[in-house]
Structure 1
Amino acid sequence: MENLNERQKEVVNQIDGPVLVIAGPGSGKTKTMIERVAHILNQKEVEPENILLATFTEKASKELISRISKKIKNTMDISGMYIGTIHSICLRIIDENLEYSFLEKNYKIFDDLEQRFFIYSKIKEFEKIEGYREFILTTESSGAWKKAGEFQKWIDRINEEGLSNKKIVDTTDENIKFLKRLHKRYVELLREENGVDFSNIQLECYRILNENPEVLRKLQEKIKYIMIDEYQDTNKIQEKLFFLIAGDRKNICVVGDDDQGIYRFRGATVRNILEFQKNFKEGECKKVELNINYRSNQDIIEFCENWMEGTNWDNWRYKKEIISGREDINQCSGVVKISVNGSQRQWNEKIYKFISYLKASRKIDDYNQIAFLFRSFKDSKIKYLVEYLERNGIKVYCPRSGNFFERDEIRFVIGFLLCIFHQGKDYLLEQYYNECYIYARKEIVLDEEAVEYIKDIREKITDMVENENSQEKIGSFLDIFYNLFNFKCFLKYINLFEEDILQNRTTYNLGIFSDILLKFDILCKIKDINRENLKKVSDYFFNYHLKYLKEIKLHEYESEETPKGAVSFLTIHQAKGLEFPIVIIGSLDNEPHVFDTPQKKLEFEILEEFEPKSKVDIYDFYRLYYTGFSRAKNLLALTCIESQGDYKVPKSIFKKVYDELNDIRSENFKYHRLEIDKIDESKRKDIFSFTSHIALYEKCPLLYNFFRKYKFVEKSTREAIVGVLAHDTLEYINKNLKRNNLITVEEIKEEYYKNYNNILRQNTIKIDEKIISKLLENIIKYFTEYKNITSFIKENEIKISFIRDNYIIEGIADLVLEKDGEIEIIDFKTGRVTQDISSYEAQLRIYAYLIGEKYKKSVKRARLFYINEREDRKLLEIDISQEAITETIKNFDIVTNKILNNYFNTEELKKERCENCFLRKYCEKTL
C-alpha cells in the first residue's frame, strides 16, 4: 500500500462496519477498492466467495477482476467472488436459488429493445386493464409502439422503486392504481414467457431473499464484505438489496460522488449516498473523503468547483475541498474557450485549426488525446462539425450519433433483402427503403452469383404465393444474411483482419445487424420462411420491425477503449468514468427546464424524491456538466457559436464561468507552455473461456475472429440444444443428490421436458422426438445405474478461473466427487467419442489443477462421461499427470498470445474442416 495516500489507506484498513467513501474525480477510487479487496484476501485470509464487489459497467467489472488478479497469488481462484455489475450479481444469486424463483431454467433476459417489443406484442392485454383509457389521456402516446415505450418507462420505475414504497402501496391516485395493475399483469405475462427484464432482475433477486429466510441466511453467512462502486447511481431496490445481504454484520462500504449522480432518468437516486450514514446509529458509519485529484490540474479543479457553486444547494450536496495531486506542469491556464461570434463554417474552421496545430506542433501524439463531449447529438451543428473534420483528414469516433441505419453496409443488406421480398409489395414506397433498394441493386447487378441467388429465392417465393401445396422454404432472415458471404458485392464490406475499428466499423456494424436478425427470427419463431408465414413475416419485418429500430436510432459498434487515430465525440453520459488529456465541452445552448406536466407530477408521486421538486432539474443539470468538465486532465475548453439577438449562446447558466475564460487565440493563453499527457495503455487482462474461446480458436482462428472479435451471432445447432438440455437436467439431478433430496424418475422427466420447452422458446430449431426420448432414457440410466458416481457428489457446476500473467481463463466443472478422501472430476458430453478430444483433455487438466488447489489435495482422476455412448464407451479417463498439465498450460499461453497479438492465420488448418463452413467462399475469394 506504499503508493496510497493516507485517506486511501484509511479506506483500505477500515474493513469492519459501514464505510462511506466520497471519492471526487480522479481520486484513485478504483485503485483504493482494489487494494482493499487484496488486503481482505491476502491479510485477512478471507475466501473470495466471501466478498461482493458491485460496479456499474461490464468494462469496469473486467478492469477490477484483471487488476485484483495481479494482487493475489495465481493459485487463488477468484471466480467465486461476487464481482460484476449489479445486474450480473443479481442473476448469479437467482441462478444459485432458481428453485425459489418464478423463473425456470433457460429463462429469457430481455434487453431494453426486446422488452419494448414484448410489451408492444401484448398491448391488447394491457388495453383491458381498468383505468387504461384515462391513463393514456394523460400521455402524448399514440400508436401501439409509443404506448409500449410509455408503459416500459413506468414498469421500470416501479421495479426500481420497489412495490413496498408507501406512495405506491397506499395510493388513492387513479393513475398509480392503473400502473400497479399494469405492472401486475406485465409480471404475469413475463412469467408465462419465462422471461425477465433488466429492472425486474434486481426485484426478483430481492424477492427471493426477502421471502426465503433460509436462503438469505446462507447468503449472509457466505458474503461477509460488500463493496459498491458508483453508489450515487444506485436506485431504491438496489440499496434495499445490499442492506438485506449485509445483515447484522453491516460490513458494507459504498464509494461514489454525489456530484456525479447523473442517472436519475434510469431510476437512480442521489439520496442513497447523501443519506447513507442515516441508516446506522450516530458515529457507527465511518466517512472518508478522497479529496486529492490525480487526474486534473488545479485550475481545472477550481473551475469545476466554481461551476458547482453557481446554484444554492441547501445541503443537498457534500461540500468538498478537492486539491490536485499533479505537479502543475503547464504553467498556463488549463481552462479556455473555443468559440466564434459568427457562422458554422467559422466554428468548424477554428476547431479544425486548433486540433491541427496541436498535432503539427507535437503537443499531441494521437488524435485520441482529444474528446468532444455533448449533452446529446440532436444538434445538427455537431453533425456538420464531424463532417468538416473528416473531410479535412481528421477521423472522428462517434458511435452514438444515431446513424446506424444510414451506414452503407446496413443500407446494402436491407436493399439486398428488399430485392428478394419487394415483389407484389409496396415496401419501396417508403423513401428510405427505396434508397436502400437502389443503392444495393447497383452493386448486385454486377455480381452474377448474387443475381442468380436472388432469382432462385424469388422463384421459390412465387411458388409459395401461387401454389397452395408449395413445400418451398428459404431459411430465416439470418440464414439469408449469412448467405451474403458467398457474394463479391457484399464482401467489400467485410474485413476479418483489419484491427482499426474506424477503418473497419463496417464489419463491426454488420455483426450488430446479425444480432438484430437473430432476435427477429426468435421473436417470430422462424426456422424457415414458407408459404404459411411468408406474408406475415415479411410485412412485419419491413412495415414495423425495421421502422421501429430506425426510430429509436440504434448506435454503431462501441469499443471498450478509445480508438487510436481519431478524435472522440461522446455524450457526457457515455464519458462517465473516462478521462482525456483534452476535453472540449459543447451543448452550451442547453439549460435546465422545469416541466410541470401530468407525467412529471406522476413521477414525483411514484419516486421517493427528497430534493425540492423545483430544484431537481437544476441540480441534475449542474451534476451532468460537472461530470463532463471533470473528465479533463490537462486542458478543458468550452465551445459554442456565440449568437446575437434574442437567442443567446451560451445560455445564462454558463455565463459566469464562460465569460471569465481566455480564448485559445488570446495572448493570455500561453500555448507554448502547455503539456499534454499521453493516453494510458489499457493493462486489463482479457478473460477467455475454454469452450467459447480456446477451443473455437483451435478449430479455426478466422471463426474465432468472426464470432468473438466482430460479435457476429452463432446460429443454434441441434447438437448445442441437445447439450444444453442434457447439462441442465443432469445439473438438476446432481444438485438434488448432493443435498440428499429424494427425487423420482417422474420428477426427472418433468424437469427434462420443462427444460426442453424453455430452450425452444429461445430457439427456432426443434429436435427429432426419437433423439429427445433417447437422451432422456440415457439420463435416467445415469440416475439409476451409476451409484458409483451419484453417491459421492461433493460439488457440481463449479465456476473456476485460471490466472496467468496476461490473461484469465474461466470455466465450469460439471461434477466433483469425493470418495475415501480422494477427489475425482467428471465432465459430461452428449456427442460421440472421437479421436480429437484434445480440447476436452486440456479443459479437465486445468480443472484438476485448480480444484486440487481449492481443496488442498491432489485430484486422483478426471473422466469424460459420454451420456449417449454405449456402456463400454461412456467413461473415458484423461491423463492429469503433472507433465500433461504443464504441457497444457504451455499450449494455453501459446494460443492466448496468438489471440492477443491478433494472429488469425488459417494456413495450418486441415482443409476438410472448411467443407461445410459458411465462410468457405469468403476465404476462397479473399485469402
Structure 2
Amino acid sequence: MFDFGNSNNGQKEAISSANGPVLITAGPGTGKTYTLVQRAIYLIEECGVQPENLFIATFTEKAAKELITRITNELARRNITANVNEMYVGTFHSLCLRILKENLEYTRLKKNYRLLDAFDQKYTVFQNIYQFRNIPNVDAVLPDSGAWKQSEAICGYVNNLSEELVLPDDLERDADPAISAMGTILRAYQKLLNDNNLMDFSSIQVETYRLLTEHSEILEELQRKITHLMVDEYQDTNYIQEQLVFLLAGKKKNICVVGDDDQGLYRFRGATIRNILEFPQKFNAGECKVVSLVVNYRSNTDIVDFYNTWMATTEGAKFKFQWGTFRYNKKIVAHTQVKLSSPSVVKLSGVDDEDEWHENILKFIHRLKDSGKLTDYNQIAFLFSSVKHPKVKALADFLEKNQINVYSPRSDMFFERYEVRLTLGCLMLMFPRYVQGLENGDYSTLRPEHITYYRQCIMLANEHLLKPENKSLLRWIRQTGRTHVGLQGTTDYAYSGLLYQLFEYQPFQEMLDTDLNVGVVDIRPSRNLAKLSQIIGKFEYLHRVDTLNGKYININTEKFFNLYIRLLYDGGITEYEDDSEYAPSGCVSFLTIHQSKGMEFPIVVVDSLSNVPRTRNNDLMLQIEARYFKRPAFEPYDQTKYFDFWRLYYTAFSRAQDLLILTCNEDKRTPSNYFREQYGELQSVDGDDFQLTEFDFKPIKDVNLKRKFAFTSNITVYDTCALQYKFYKELEFMPVRANAMLFGTLVHETIEDIHRAAIRHEESEITHENIEKWFDANYSSLSKTEHSYLATQQLEAALKQVIRYADRQHGNWSTIQQAEVDVSLVKPDYIIDGKIDLIKGEGDTVEIVDFKSERKPDLEKSREKLEQYRRQLNIYAYLVEERTGKRVSRMNLYYTGEENGVPVVTFPYTKTAIESTMAAFDDTVQHILKKDFHHCANDEKICKNCDFKYFCRSK
C-alpha cells in the first residue's frame, strides 16, 4: 500500500489519479507542491513509471529547484532507488530549450545562438530601429516618441503575436494599413533574429512548437519517452504552452494540470484563464477527473474567511459584475479552527499625513519586536501593486533610516545605491572630456534628470577623493584621466578593466572583502558591484569594445553613459535575488503582489488600497485578436478589469499565515470604493481588542534548494583559488572578455556534428566535403557570437584536426552511443553536473572520451595537468555508471592536434580512484556550501591573469 502520510482525502485522490486527464484546482495554502511531489512519487513507486518518463513544468526556476529537491528527498526517505536525472523538470522555457538543444539541426537555429533577455531584446530592436521605421504605415502602429519607446512597443507586439502563432503573411494581407504594417513589423523582427542567430523568450516556445509540428519523428520519439505530464500554475499558461502540452501528451492524454483560477495574474504576459477553466472540455464527457483542494494549511480562520468574503461579495449592483462561468465556485476551509479573541485581520492607518503613516508603521513594527512574538524581521512582508512607486520608496527609506532593513530587490534602487553612484562617478572622472561635455550641456540625448544624476555621481566621487586617506585613489584617477585625454594609440584595457583596477582602493576593498555569511544588506554592495561588472561587460560585448583607442575613446564613452547606462537608468534594474533564501534574515520584505505569489509570511501588510480596476486594452491588438488569433476572446472585455483586480488582491490577502494587515494613508480617495466598506469594518492595530500576546508567529520556512556543481566550472575553480570562486561564481562578477577559445570550440563543435551524423545512422554523410560545410557553418555562427576571428592559417589547422580525426576512424562509427552528453546526479546535499564529449562502446561496457584540440603533451612534464584531467574523467565515469548502470571500462583523452603518434591517453578505471575523487569532490562542495572562501592561489601565472589581481595586490 502506498504511504499517503498526512494527505487529506482530496490530496489522496489527486495523488492516486495516475492516468488520463486530471484537473487539480488548488486554493491558496492547500498543499499544491506537496501534492505534486507525492503524485510524482506515486507514479514512480506504485505505477512503475520511470523518472525519465515524467514531464513537470513550473513557472519559475526556483519552483523547479524546489520540486527536484523535494522529490529526491522523498525518494530517499522512502528508500526508493530511482534515477531522477533524466526527468523533465523545469520552467516551460527551460524544458523547451532542452528539446531544442537535443534537436538543434532541425531548427532555424545554428550552434552558438544568443538568447536575449528583455533588455537585450529591446536594445537589439533599438539598434536596428531604422529597419522598422521604414515600413509603410508604421506610424499607425508605433507611438509618436523616441526610438527606445518604439522599440519597447515593437517587442510587446511581436511577443504577443508570436506566442499566439500569428503569421506575418496573414497580417500583411489585411486591408487595414495598420494591421498590414504590424505583419511587416513581425516579419522584419523574425528576419532580425534569423540573420543574427538570436532567440528571445517568446521564440523559445515558438521554435519548439515548429520543431514538434514539422518533424513528426521527433514528436513521436518524445511522446514515446514522456508518458505523464504535470503542469503547475496552469491558470498562468498561454495559448502556445497549452498547444505544447497537448502535443507532447499525444493520444495517451496523461495530463495533470494544477492551479487556482482565482490566482490568474499574468494576462499582461499573454496568459489566459480559459486554459484551466476549459481544460475538462478538451476531452470526452466524464473523461477528465476534477479534484478540488480546499483545505488551507497556511492561514488562520479569520484570514481565510476574509479572502473568501472578498471573492464572494463581488456580484450584484454594487460592483456591477458577476463571475458567472469565469471562476470555479469554491470556498476555502481553514485546516485548524484557531480561536483567538483578538482579530487576525486588522488595519493600520495614517490620516492624510504621510509622516504620520510612516511613524505608525514604525511604531507597530517596534511593538511587534518588543512583544517578543516577532523573532526576525523577515516574518513581515509588505505587498504593493508596485515597489517602484515613490510612496513605496519613501516608506522603505524611512524604515532603513530607522534601522529596519528593507529587502526590495525589484524596487529599481540599483542606481541609487551608494556603491553604484560612487563607482560611476569615479569612472566618469577618468574621462575628463566627457565630464567637460556634461558640465557644458553638450549632450542633447540626456534629459535634466540624467544630467542631475550624473552630476550627483561625480560630486559623490569628488567628496570621497578629497578625503586625506584616499590620496592614492585620487592620484591614480587623475593620472588615468590625463592618459585618456592625450591618448594616441590603444590601451590594453576598456571600461571593465578600469572597474577592476578601482577595486585596489577603498571603499571597494572593504565592500568586496565582506564575508558571504553575513546578512543580505551587508552583501548588497558587493552584489551590486558584480551587477555593474555584468552591465559594463555586456556593453563592451554589444559594441565590440575590447580596448580604449584614441580615435574612438570619446565616442564610445558618450555611447556608454549617454545611451547604454541612460536606457538602463530609465528602465530600472532589479538587484540580486537569492533563490536559496526565502526572505533574508534581519529584513522586512517589500514585494509586489505578483512577486509574492506562491509565498507565505506570518505577517502580511497589504498596501496599494487606492487602486481601482483599470482597462488596459490596445484597440489595434483587439482587432488582430478578433481576426487572427486561433480562438475568440474568452472573458468579456468590459469585465476583465474586475476579474483581474479581484484575483490580484485575493492573491495578496491569502499570503498571510497568522496576521493580515491592510494599511493606507487615509484620504478622500484612499481606500478606494472597492475596499472602503471592508476596510472600515476592520479593527485598528491600536484597538483594545487587538492583543499581540495571543499570537505565536511562525518562522519563515526553510527553502533548502539543491545547487548544481560541476568539476571544471566549480571544483577546479575553487581548488585553484577560493577567493576567485567567491567573486566569479558566488557574486557573479563578469570576467573581462579575453580572446575567445575559438580554435578549440570550433574543433569540438565540428566533431560533434560528425558524431551526431553517426548517431542518426547517417555515416555516409561523414565526408570531407560535408565536414568542411559543418566547419564553415560553425565558424560563421561562432565568430558572429564571439565577435572574434581566426587567421586563415589557424582555420586551416583546425579543419585539418577534424578531418584527421574522421579519417582515423576508417568509417567505423558503430560504437558511438552518445555525444555532448549532459549528465547529472542528485546527491543528498547537491547535484553533480557534467558534460561528456563522447560515450562509446558495445553491450553493457562503455568508454568515455574527452577531446583536446592540441598536441599530445609530454606525459612526464604534464603530470599535474593530466592528473586534473584524470579526476575529471573519474567524475564522468561515476556519473555514467550511476545514471545508466553500464560499466565504464576505459577513460580516454583524445588529442586532435597529434599528427603522427597515438592521439589517445588512456586511464584505467579503478573503483578506489573513483571513490577517492568523489570524496574530494564532496569535501570541496561542503566548503563551498559553508561559504569558506579564504584560501588564495599560490601560482603567479593564475594571479597575473586574474581580474582581481588589483584587489589582492593591495591586501
What TM-score, normalized by structure 2, do the two folds share? 0.92
Task: Confirm whether residue 828 of structure 1 aligns to residue 851 of structure 2.
Answer: yes
Which residue in 2 is equivalent to 1:282? 285
Report the CA distance shift for 1:496/1:45 in structure 2 as closer, same or farther (over 3 A).
farther
Which residue, out of 421, 430, 447, partners 1:420?
Answer: 430
- Structure 2 residue aligned with 1:513, among 511, 518, 532? 532
Per-residue deviation at 1:12? 1.8
Secondary structure of 1:614's partner?
coil
1:474-513 alignment, distance < 5 Å:
474-488=492-506, 490-499=508-517, 500-513=519-532
The match for 1:201 is: 204
Question: SS of 2:419's equivalent?
Answer: helix
Shift in CA distance, 855/679, structure 1 to aligned 2, threshold 3 Å: closer
Q: Which moved more, 1:862-871 or 1:98-107?
A: 862-871
Q: How does 1:92-491 map to 2 (within 5 A)?
A: 92-136=98-142, 139=143, 141-163=144-166, 172-311=175-314, 312-326=322-336, 328=338, 330=340, 332-423=342-433, 426-428=437-439, 429=441, 430-444=451-465, 447-464=470-487, 470-488=488-506, 490-491=508-509
Q: Deviations over 1:11-63 (max 9, x none)?
A: 22212111111111111111111122222233333333222111111111111
Cα separation, partners in 2 of 1:135 and 1:418, compared to 1, 3 Å: same
Aligned residue number for residue 649 of structure 1: 670
Higher deviation after alignment, 281-290 or 46-55:
46-55
Q: CA deviation at 1:702?
A: 1.0
Task: Give the Å deviation of 1:872.
Answer: 4.1
1:714 aligns with 2:738: no
CA distance in 2, matches of 1:291, 1:722: 59
Distance in 1 between residues matched to 2:512 and 2:812, nearest whole Å: 49
Distance 1:874 1:148 in 2: 52
Q: Percent identity?
A: 38
Which residue is equivalent to 2:769?
746
Q: Distance in 2 between matches of 1:367 and 1:187?
A: 48
**CA deviation after TM superposition for structure 1 residue 910, in Å:** 5.0
Moved more, 672-681 or 449-458: 449-458
Matched, 1:916 2:945: yes
1:803 partner amino acid: V
Q: 1:197-231 CA distances to partner (integer Å, 9 max, x unpaired)? A: 10111011101111121221112111111111111
Deviates more, 1:207-216 or 1:184-193: 207-216
The change in CA–CA distance for 1:75 and 1:456 in structure 2 (over 3 A counts) is farther
Specify the alignment match of 2:319 in structure 1: none
**Which residue in 1 is equivalent to 2:600?**
579
Amino acid in structure 2 at the alignment position of 1:691: T
CA distance in 2: counterparts of 1:38 and 1:564, whole angstroms: 33
SS at match of 1:340: strand
Q: In 1, are the aligned partners of 2:349 and 2:666 still within 8 Å (CA)? A: yes
Q: Give 1:798's aligned amino acid.
A: V
Counterpart in the other structure of 1:546: 565
Q: TM-score when scaled to structure 1?
A: 0.94
**Partner of 1:551: helix, strand, or coil?**
helix
Within 2, Cα distance between the matches of 1:66 and 1:150?
A: 39
Q: Distance in 1 between matches of 2:779 and 2:621?
A: 45
Instruction: Give the secondary-structure state (helix, strand or coil) at the position aligned to 2:819.
Output: strand
CA distance in 2, matches of 1:863, 1:717: 29
Matched AA of 2:906? E
In structure 1, what is the Cα distance between the partners aligned to 2:289 and 2:84? 28
Give the whole-Å Cα distance in 1 for the aligned partners of 2:516 and 2:880.
40
- Secondary structure of residue in 1 paired with 2:846: strand
1:633 is displaced (CA, Å) by 0.6
Aligned residue type for 1:642: E
**Contact persistence 1:334–1:635 (CA under 8 A):** yes
Deviation at 1:821, TM superposition (A): 5.3
> Helix, strand or coil: the match of 2:531?
helix
Match of residue 664 from structure 1: 685
**2: distance between equivalents of 1:820 and 1:593?**
65
Q: Distance in 1 between matches of 2:634 and 2:171?
A: 16
Report SS of the residue matched to 2:515: coil
Corresponding residue SS for 2:876: helix
- 1:841 shift after superposition: 2.5
Larger displacement relative to structure 2 (863-872 or 77-86)? 863-872
| Contact kept in structure 1, 2:852 and 2:895, CA below 8 Å | yes
Residue number in structure 1 paired with 2:725: 704
Q: 2:654 aligns with which of 620, 630, 640?
A: 630
Partner of 1:858: 887
**Matches of 2:916 and 2:45 in 1, distance apart?**
29
**Pair 1:677–1:812, CA change in 2 (3 A):** same
Say if 2:85 and 2:826, in contact at 8 Å, map to a contact too.
Answer: no
Would the alpha carbon gap of residues 325 and 864 (structure 1) be closer, same or farther in structure 2, given more than 3 Å must change?
farther
Aligned length, in residue pairs? 915
Matching of residue 556 in structure 1 with residue 566 in structure 2: no
Q: Pick from 531, 546, 552: which aligns with 1:533? A: 552
How far apart are 1:583 and its partner, in Å?
Answer: 0.3
2:541 maps to which of 509, 519, 522: 522
Query: Does the 8 Å CA contact 2:20/2:254 hold for their aligned counterparts?
Result: yes
Query: How far, CA to CA, are the matches of 1:410 and 1:122 in structure 2?
Result: 30
> Relative to structure 1, is the Cα distance of residues 111 and 582 closer, same or farther in structure 2, using a 3 angstrom cutoff?
same
- Report if the CA contact (8 A) 1:77-1:850 is conserved: no
- Quick check: 2:387–2:590 contact (8 Å CA) kept in 1? no
Residue 609 of structure 1: CA displacement? 2.9
Q: C-alpha distance in 2, partners of 1:148/1:235?
A: 23
Aligned to 2:447: none
CA–CA distance in structure 2, aligned partners of residues 673 and 223 of structure 1 = 51
> Are residues 147 and 53 of structure 1, via their aligned partners in 2, closer, same or farther at CA, if it must alter by over 3 Å?
same
Distance (Å, rounded) in 2 between the aligned partners of 1:812 and 1:276? 39
CA distance in 2, matches of 1:368, 1:821: 53
Secondary structure (helix, strand or coil) at the match of 2:433 reads: coil
CA distance in 2, matches of 1:714, 1:866: 28
Q: Return the alpha-carbon distance in structure 2 between the equivalents of residues 481 and 753 of structure 1.
A: 37
Cα distance in 1 for partners of 2:894, 2:81 equals 27
Name the CA distance, whole Å, in 1 between partners of 2:69 and 2:610: 41
Task: Find the counterpart in structure 1 of residue 317 from structure 2.
Answer: none
Q: Deviations over 1:804-838 (max 9, x none)?
A: 21111111222111146531111223356432344
Counterparts of 1:823 and 1:733, CA distance in 2: 19
Alignment of 1:687-836 (within 5 A): 687-718=708-739, 720-741=741-762, 742-787=765-810, 790-819=813-842, 822-830=845-853, 833=857, 834=862, 835-836=864-865
Q: Would the aligned equivalents of 2:504 and 2:953 in 1 still touch at CA under 8 Å?
A: no
Residues 460 and 472 in structure 1, CA contact (< 8 A), matched pair in contact too = no
Distance 1:745 1:402, change over 3 A: same
**CA distance in 2 between partners of 1:342 and 1:912 (Å):** 65
Closer, same or farther: CA 321–831 of 1 in aligned 2, 3 Å: farther
- Structure 1, unmatched stretches of 5+, are 465-469
Indicate the SS of the match to 1:563.
coil
For residues 694 and 907 of structure 1, what CA distance do their matches in structure 2 show? Answer: 14
1:467 corresponds in structure 2 to none
Write the deviation string for residues 111-154 of structure 1: whole angstroms up to 9, x where unpaired: 00000001111111112222212223xx4x40111111111111
Matches within 5 A, 1:9-20: 9-20=12-23
Distance 2:174 2:13 in 1: 45
CA change 1:39–1:773 in 2 (3 A) is: farther
Unaligned runs of 5+ in 2: 315-321, 442-450
Q: Report the Cα distance in structure 2 between the residues aligned to 1:769 and 1:70, rounded to whole angstroms.
A: 54
**Shift in alpha-carbon separation, 1:124–1:214, aligned structure 2, 3 A:** same
CA distance in 2, matches of 1:789, 1:492: 60
Q: How has the CA–CA distance of structure 1 residues 479 and 751 changed in structure 2, closer, same or farther, with 3 Å as cutoff?
A: farther
